Structure 1
Amino acid sequence: MKHPFLHQGGDGYVIHEHSGHQLSIAVFDGLGHGERAVCAAEAFRDICMNAPSYEPHRLLAFAHPHMRRTAGAACMVVNLDRKKRTASYAGIGNISMFFGNQDQMKWRTGNSGILGYRQIHIREMSFPWEDGDVLILHTDGLRKEGMKHLLHHNRSPSELAKVICEHQYSGQDDALVLVCSVHAQRAVKVEEETIRA
């Protein structure tokens, strides 16, 4: 399964299922506004769709030189291993990630920099997950401050995506939030919401 999504503002995602038990998710935001941002986002989406590896570190290292001809992008790549119940991730720029459950929610962001611009430092990290955990990725059109209090309720991924957009939209940029409910034995449920500035 390869599921790309891109809206006019340059925010987008790619979901790719591979190896029978792994799911890779990339959320990205083309830099700038208008056509410039869209072109950068389209370039990263196309790179993701044709990448030789979906491991987060390798995918970003592969994409970086190919993005030099664009305005660049912020991005986060997460690889969910349903057999090992672990997730690995790496990011460049201001894409934010929350993961966990109602009892404990953690926040992570990528390393500073711009994919496709100057030198970048890519650091891949990992964490374990349990059935029913939630993974949330969002672009910088949504405020991360105050986000955690929205997550301590028993909401479906689609409800959570809507509530996050309603409460956290900054009003200054396009925004995308991707909410995933993670399970080892059944399909990962993914919902997204977008706002066009």
Structure 2
Amino acid sequence: MDLTFAGAPTLVLPLEDTSQIGHARRVALKEAARAGFDETDAARVALIATELATNVLKHARTGEIHIALVPGVATGGVEVIAVDRGPGFNLSDCLPDGYSTGGTRGEGLGAVKRVADVLDMYADHRGSVVMARMYPKGFSGADLHFGASHHALHSEAVSGDGWAMSLGDEVVAAMMVDGLGHGPQAHDAAKAGTDAWLADALADPLDGIGNMDASMRGTRGGAVAIARYDRTSDTLRYAGIGNIAGSLQTVDGSRGLASHPGIVGVQARRSRPFEFSPVHGRLLILHSDGLQSRWNLLDYPGLVTRHPAVVTALLHRDFSRGRDDATVLAIRLETSA
């Protein structure tokens, strides 16, 4: 498996009354068509969007539907996430053994459970996050264990953040860039950096930052972090400049990943790389400074074991500053593809 791609901003559909359920269904159909789904598979996506939107309004009264196209093994998929701040529900009645693909046992969310290829959720007194992913029929093993929640500042048409990944049998690499400020100029800086990284995605993180620095000159610059995971040696190599936050999460706690001060493309001095091993099974999280830094997954018992897409949606819900672009990326580090 060799797959390299850049992420796009998440579509966010507010839910405040029943008239918005139909809009969520139509947007889901449109995104399924963009993913190349046939009529039957697109109808599955529309059904899930309808059911999740209905469930939010019924149990939480208000919330959001997040929709994104996601890459998968040999195909692409559509992700639909319902996010709310309602009273939550009893997880033990739904998915007792963590996230599941197909055939999940449990009660509730029946229609979603029957048609989703991947379904996972998290709920407590602070609200609920329910994530479903769909792939074309015949690709039941397509899901990749990552999640991303990428949001432009509400007043901007484009995002000044960017992220990208490269997934292979031996190496997994990820990059995040935060263009200085927000708006079109920040977007241009982030795009220049992202394009440079994509051109040599498996390079050593120090070389990757050097390539991005050269391409971002003439822009307003930004913060950058690059992580490269060698599956064979079970070693993560990480380098960053600026205020992208990185961490490795386990059920017992977290370890921060250090970055150096500077602005890539403007005032970037050579960064020092850091190596971590073993890291198999840990959750790598990167986020821009549009997300508050004072969060702790231990405050959400069991969350670190859920699908990374549930983790990223919840962190955005509870810790977005609301005054800048905000992006959070999570990847489960695994020694086999």
TM-score w.r.t. the length of structure 2 is 0.52
Matched with 1:189 is: none
Tell me the secondary structure at the aligned position of residue 69 of structure 1: coil
Residue 152 to residue 60, structure 1, CA distance change in 2 (3 Å):
farther
Q: Work out whether residues 95 and 109 of structure 1, in 8 Å CA contact, stay in contact via their aligned partners in 2.
A: no
Please tell me the residue identity of whatever aligns with 1:118. Q
- Give unmatched runs, 5+ long, in structure 1: 187-197
Residue 120 to residue 130, structure 1, CA distance change in 2 (3 Å):
closer
Q: 1:15 aligns with which of 146, 152, 165?
A: 165
Residue 159 to residue 119, structure 1, CA distance change in 2 (3 Å):
closer
Q: Deviations 1:107-148 (Å, cap 9, x if unpaired)?
A: 124111100113413111110134321000000000111334
When Rg is computed on C-alpha atoms for both structures, the one with the higher figure is 2
1:4 maps onto 2:6 in alignment: yes
Matched with 1:34 is: 183
Q: 1:43 aligns with which of 189, 192, 212?
A: 192
Q: 2:315 aligns with which of 160, 164, 179?
A: 164
Q: Deviations 1:66-87 (Å, cap 9, x if unpaired)?
A: 2111110111000000000000
Q: Deviations 1:18-71 (Å, cap 9, x if unpaired)?
A: 5x4011100111112211011001101111121386210111122213211111
C-alpha distance in structure 2 between counterparts of 1:131 and 1:118, whole Å: 35
Tell me the secondary structure at the aligned position of residue 98 of structure 1: strand
C-alpha distance in structure 2 between counterparts of 1:6 and 1:115, whole Å: 21
Residue 118 to residue 161, structure 1, CA distance change in 2 (3 Å):
closer
C-alpha distance in structure 2 between counterparts of 1:81 and 1:31, whole Å: 31
Q: Work out whether residues 61 and 122 of structure 1, in 8 Å CA contact, stay in contact via their aligned partners in 2.
A: no
Tell me the secondary structure at the aligned position of residue 91 of structure 1: strand
Per the TM alignment, residue 169 of structure 1 is displaced from its structure 2 partner at its CA by 0.9
Greater CA deviation, 52-61 or 78-87?
A: 52-61
C-alpha distance in structure 1 between counterparts of 2:309 and 2:209, whole Å: 28
C-alpha distance in structure 1 between counterparts of 2:213 and 2:176, whole Å: 15
Residue 117 to residue 185, structure 1, CA distance change in 2 (3 Å):
same
Matched with 2:290 is: 141
Tell me the secondary structure at the aligned position of residue 213 of structure 2: helix
Per the TM alignment, residue 16 of structure 1 is displaced from its structure 2 partner at its CA by 1.7
Residue 3 to residue 106, structure 1, CA distance change in 2 (3 Å):
same
Per the TM alignment, residue 17 of structure 1 is displaced from its structure 2 partner at its CA by 3.3
Q: Work out whether residues 71 and 116 of structure 1, in 8 Å CA contact, stay in contact via their aligned partners in 2.
A: yes
C-alpha distance in structure 2 between counterparts of 1:171 and 1:14, whole Å: 23
Per the TM alignment, residue 151 of structure 1 is displaced from its structure 2 partner at its CA by 6.1
Q: 1:90 aligns with which of 239, 254, 259?
A: 239
Aligned length in residues: 185
Tell me the secondary structure at the aligned position of residue 65 of structure 1: helix
- Give unmatched runs, 5+ long, in structure 2: 10-157
TM-score w.r.t. the length of structure 1 is 0.86
Where does structure 1 differ by over 6 angstroms across 4 or more consecutive aligned residues? none
Q: CA RMSD in A?
A: 1.8
Q: Work out whether residues 251 and 298 of structure 2, in 8 Å CA contact, stay in contact via their aligned partners in 1.
A: no
C-alpha distance in structure 1 between counterparts of 2:201 and 2:297, whole Å: 35
Q: Work out whether residues 288 and 327 of structure 2, in 8 Å CA contact, stay in contact via their aligned partners in 1.
A: yes
